[in-house]
Amino acid sequence: MTLTKKTKQILIALVLVGAIVGGWAVWYVFFKPHRDVSSEKAAYTLTAEELNQAITDGKIATYIDQAIMVTGEVTESDAKHLVMGSVVCNFEETSPLDVSKAAVGAKVSVQGRVSTFNDLMGEVVMDKCTIK
């Protein structure tokens, strides 16, 4: 079977268009901007106790991958993590975490994304957190 000149041109054009579209798709996936949770409007505003109650009620899936604002008393704190009861907040290294605001016993409001629920420890893990 021999291809005509017109058929060859059409095939070459389709391959070129496919390569361009495929290259753009790969570029878009690898270089798209990251989500800035700190600038988003919080989908939910809760206390650490209300979030803990959602765990016991089995409604934690509602909050997964949502930007939420959690207010509570700090029970543990270091440069990258803050714990409010059963809520663990992870701060990015570039986050301007003011350690004096996050002293143990202080009441703080933290906005972040609920990333996971640790069923074994009974903890809600938040990432990309910022103190508000």
For the chain, the average pLDDT equals 86
In 42-69, which positions are buried (b, 16+ CB within 10 angstroms) versus exposed (e)? beeebbbbebbebbeeeebeebeeebbb
At residue 95, the pLDDT reads: 57
CATH architecture classification, 37-131? Beta Barrel (2.40)
Reported confidence tier of residue 78, pLDDT bands at 50, 70, 90? confident
Q: Is the four-CA dihedral 110, 104, 125, 56 of positive or negative sign?
A: negative
Residue 49: both structure tokens together: 């106790």
When mean pLDDT is compared across 93-97, 109-113, 126-130, the lowest value belongs to: 93-97
Residue 9 exposure: Cα atoms within 13 Å on the Cβ side? 3
**Quick one: pLDDT at residue 3?**
82
Q: Point out the least confidently predicted range of 6-15, 50-59, 99-108.
A: 99-108
Name the amino acid, one letter, at 75: T
> What string of DSSP letters covers the chain?
----HHHHHHHHHHHHHHHHHHHHHHHHHHHPPPP-GGGSPPSEEEEHHHHHHHHHHT-GGGTTT-EEEEEEE-SEE-SSEEEETTEEEEPPTTS---TTTT-TT-EEEEEEEEEEEETTTTEEEEEEEEE-
Entry pTM: 0.70
Residue pLDDT, tens place only, 24-74: 999 988 888 878 888 889 899 999 888 888 877 888 888 888 899 999 999
